[in-house]
Amino acid sequence: MSCKDEPKSESKKEITLSKEQQIEQRQQRLKEREAIREKAKSEVNTIMAVLMFDKNFSELSSLVVSAELVDTLLEEGPFTLFAPNNMALNQYSEEKLKEVLKPRNREDLQSLLKYHIIPGTLTTDELKTMLGQNNNTMSIATLQGEKLNFSLANGKISLKDANNNTINIIKSDIEATNGVIHTISTVAETKTVEVEE
């Protein structure tokens, strides 16, 4: 009986070590995020700082941290960010989100997030002017490379992503020192994001 018991105890030990490693990783992530929050405080009103300290963007700021794009939104720019709020991200496919959050799929997560960023600062007034000069419809290249499609109807701007999903701007012109943020109702999806299974 003692021989049969040994493998069980080894198995338990392995599980315990695995749990310890998970706790260690969690603690490390918390430390990293706290360090980012401290850094964001010193870079007041950057796009990243706005995301970090607005509870409506807590999910998005967490994704930006996981994608290692913090410095891009903290120090670089100017950018126009079309930012899905927590409600929009909660409606997004849980399965897709789990996949892009895997470390091996970090580039896919970066691609997804960069698809929401346009180089330069574009306020809603500037977008409306540009749309008015282009028969109320136009496409603009994102930081990811693919384009977002814009249209103007009854004074309101809407977007369409690469999959022809309609996206509404629900809050506009949130100012930042390195650009501007527009809150959007839905996550914009690219056609090129492919995750490893």
Q: Any idea where the domains of the chain sit in the sequence?
A: 1-42, 44-184
Q: Which has the minimum average pLDDT: 44-53, 86-95, 185-194?
A: 185-194
The length of the chain, given as a count of residues: 197
| 158-173 pLDDT, tens digit each | 999 999 999 999 999 9
Phi first, then psi, for residue 159 (nearest 5°) are -120, 155
- For 117, the 3-state DSSP assignment is strand
The model's pTM is 0.77
- For 138, the 3-state DSSP assignment is strand
Q: Does domain 44-184 have CATH number 2.30.180.10?
A: yes
| 45-81 pLDDT, tens digit each | 899 999 999 999 999 999 999 999 999 998 889 999 9
How far is Cα 54 from Cα 165, in angstroms, rounded to an integer?
Answer: 26
Asked if residue 119 has a cis previous peptide bond (ω within 30° of 0), the answer is no
Tell me the residue type at 102: K
